[in-house]
Amino acid sequence: MASNSVLQPVTTHGWRAGFNNLFRKENRDWWGTRSWLAQAIIWTAILIGILATVLFAPMEGDASLLLAGGKSVLGLMIFFAVAGTALPIGAIIMGQEEVLDEKRSGTAAWILSKPVSRAAFILAKVTANAIGILLIMVLLEGVLAYGLIAAVTGRAFPVIPYLGALGVLYVNVMFYFLLSLMFSAASNSRGAAIGIPMAILFGYQFFVGVAPWLLEVTPWGLTNAGSGSGLPNSVATAVALGQSFSGLPIIATLAWCLLFVVIAVWRFNRDEF
């Protein structure tokens, strides 16, 4: 039997113990398999398909459309509105699987019997999925939508504000991903991990109707036009068009995201395997 002396030991301590290996594996799950391709095809079919339907539909003489700034602005609004709902649904499904499936299958117990911190287990999933969601679900689809709108309408939006708008969309998607992941780390209930984020995603009109101020502290106004805020556009559309917008919902949503991660790590630390 050879000795361990020829091998360089991993020297990370504390919360980082095991993170690099876990992160590599989570990344491989995205990029080393066909997962990224499947995600790209699904979201392109849904988001770009709907956008194309709208852009290619005849709309001559539609006064409201002209007032709103033409087909290109309509396309922009449609893209952020549809992506702002469809992508969170995908993110919720992904988030609930991340920890819950590993707890149920027993692979979490196996991994945690190695020199791995529980924080690293959660953070590796958060980080790798954050990259996958950003590149495939937000950036790729955003670039395709941008190209389609420009090709069909002949109008290209300024790139930097548009990327800023995609950033707003990304914050919105991550909110739901992390909310679902938090429930999957904190409970053994798939119902809670899917149902609660879905209720928050689809219940916004009810909640905002009861308490309009919620728009300022939730992601609801980030991609939903109007949303009872009195503004004609969502924050994402306003950012893309260079209009004025309130930054508070973005800051609040980022704070929620951070809180969800903290709760997920804290709760997972208390779990027993």
Partner 1 sequence: MAANDLVIETHGLGKTYKEVTALKALDLTVSKNSIFGFLGPNGAGKTTTIKLLLGLAKPTAGGATVFGHDIVHDNVEIRKRVGYLAQDPRYYEYMTARQTLRYTAHFFFKGPEKDIEARVTETLELVGLSDKADRPIKGFSGGERQRLGIAQAQINYPDLLILDEPAASLDPQGRRDVLEVMEKLRKHTTVFYSTHILSDVQRVSDTVAILNKGQLVAQAPIDQLLAGGSGSTIYVMSLKGDVTQAQQRVAAQPWVSNIKVTPDNTHTDWQVTVTDEAAAEEQLLRVVLSDAQVHVLEFGRKKYELEEVFLGLVEGNDGQ
Site for partner 1 in 14-43 (CB under 8 A): 14, 17-18, 20-21, 24-25
- Choose between 99 and 116: whose C-beta lies nearer to partner 1: 116
Total residues binding partner 1 (CB under 8 A): 30
- Choose between 114 and 191: whose C-beta lies nearer to partner 1: 114
Least Å from the CB of residue 259 to partner 1: 24
Contact 198/89 with Cβ under 8 angstroms? Answer: yes
Least Å from the CB of residue 122 to partner 1: 15
- Choose between 1 and 210: whose C-beta lies nearer to partner 1: 1
Contact 96/184 with Cβ under 8 angstroms? Answer: yes
Rounded Cα gap, residues 220 and 226, in angstroms = 10
User: CA nearest 135: which of 37, 220, 254, 52?
Assistant: 37
- Label residue 267 exposed, middle or buried (CB < 10 Å: 0-12, 13-18, 19+): middle
- Choose between 7 and 57: whose C-beta lies nearer to partner 1: 7
Torsion 148-149-151-156 (CA) sign: negative
The pair phi, psi for residue 187, each rounded to 5°, is -140, 170
Site for partner 1 in 97-126 (CB under 8 A): 105-107, 109-110, 112-117
- Choose between 51 and 112: whose C-beta lies nearer to partner 1: 112
- The alpha-carbon radius of gyration of the chain (Å, integer) is 21
Residue showing tokens 């993110």: 91
Contact 114/196 with Cβ under 8 angstroms? Answer: no
Does 13 contact partner 1 by CB under 8 A?
yes
Site for partner 1 in 153-172 (CB under 8 A): none
- Choose between 207 and 266: whose C-beta lies nearer to partner 1: 266
Contact 158/242 with Cβ under 8 angstroms? Answer: yes
The pair phi, psi for residue 220, each rounded to 5°, is -60, -35
Does 64 contact partner 1 by CB under 8 A?
no
Q: Tell me which residues touch partner 1 (CB under 8 A).
A: 1-4, 6-10, 13-14, 17-18, 20-21, 24-25, 105-107, 109-110, 112-117, 272-273
